[in-house]
């Protein structure tokens, strides 16, 4: 994925579902062309690699325990408590990677990209370094993106980014996180409807 056109970026942006939700991101413009996959792997800070590894290890360990049945319940609870401690520690370490000078909040995000309000304009196709910090200690992602569009908006600039250079496991993490968030939103809406219905019956 190098030397993409705006049309190709627009198509890539539609590849995956995105959800309207605010998460913390860092965005830094990068001089020059889009780095290749090897350059991405070399640039990813160690805490981001660790976060992805821990996340996948936790998931595979819990899947293995589920196959053991009832006897595994106590062990699963213990492992979940240990995983929670590691998550909290990782969350602290990852927050050291969060640069306040380049911090923004997304309007939406998904496996393909994100949108946010920037304080300064960016040129379409501009390469940027992106750090995404997911909610609820669900992980963090380091990748390279490209600007799909940049429009004046509410005292700033509405920017759409496409994740042009990203590890596949990190893309999967973003896909899962966006789907989880969507299911949370749908659950909240259903609960609000039930509450409104109950209130109307009184």
Average pLDDT over residues 114-125: 97
CA-CA distances (angstroms) from residue 108 to 89, 101, 137?
27, 21, 18
pLDDT confidence band for 193 (50 / 70 / 90): confident
Helix ranges restricted to H, the chain = 6-13, 37-43, 46-66, 73-95, 168-201
Q: What is the pLDDT of residue 155?
A: 83
DSSP 101: G
What average pLDDT score do residues 27-36 get? 96
Domains of the chain by residue range: 6-43+106-201, 46-96
- What percent of the chain stands above pLDDT 90? 58
**Widest pairwise Cα distance in the chain:** 64
pTM: 0.82
- pLDDT at 69 exceeding the cut of 80: no
pLDDT, greater one: 72 or 151: 151
**CATH annotation of 6-43+106-201:** 2.40.10.220
CA 134, CA 25: separation in Å to the nearest integer? 9
Indicate the pLDDT class of residue 1, thresholds 50, 70 and 90: very low
What is residue 154's DSSP assignment? T
Phi-psi region of 144 (alpha: psi -120 to 50; beta: other; left: phi over 0): beta
- Rounded to 5 degrees, what are φ and ψ at 3? 50, 45
């Amino acid at each position: 994925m190098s030397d993409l056109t705006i049309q190709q970026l627009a198509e890539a942006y539609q590849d995956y579902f995105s959800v309207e939700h605010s998460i913390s991101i860092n965005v830094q413009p990068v001089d020059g062309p889009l780095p290749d996959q090897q350059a991405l792997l070399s640039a990813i800070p160690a805490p981001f690699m660790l976060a992805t590894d821990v996340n996948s290890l936790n998931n595979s360990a819990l899947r293995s325990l589920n196959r053991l049945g009832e006897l595994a319940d106590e062990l699963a609870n213990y492992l979940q408590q240990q995983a929670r401690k590691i998550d909290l520690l990782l969350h602290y370490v990852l927050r050291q990677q969060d640069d306040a000078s380049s911090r923004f909040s997304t309007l939406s995000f998904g496996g393909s990209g994100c949108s946010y309000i920037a304080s300064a304009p960016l040129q379409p196709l501009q390469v940027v370094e992106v750090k995404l910090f997911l909610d609820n200690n669900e992980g963090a992602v380091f990748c390279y993106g490209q600007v799909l569009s940049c429009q004046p908006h509410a005292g700033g600039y509405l920017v759409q980014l496409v994740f042009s250079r990203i590890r596949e496991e990190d893309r999967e993490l973003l896909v899962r996180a966006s789907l989880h968030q969507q299911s949370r939103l749908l659950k909240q809406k259903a609960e609000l409807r039930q509450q409104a219905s109950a209130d109307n019956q009184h």
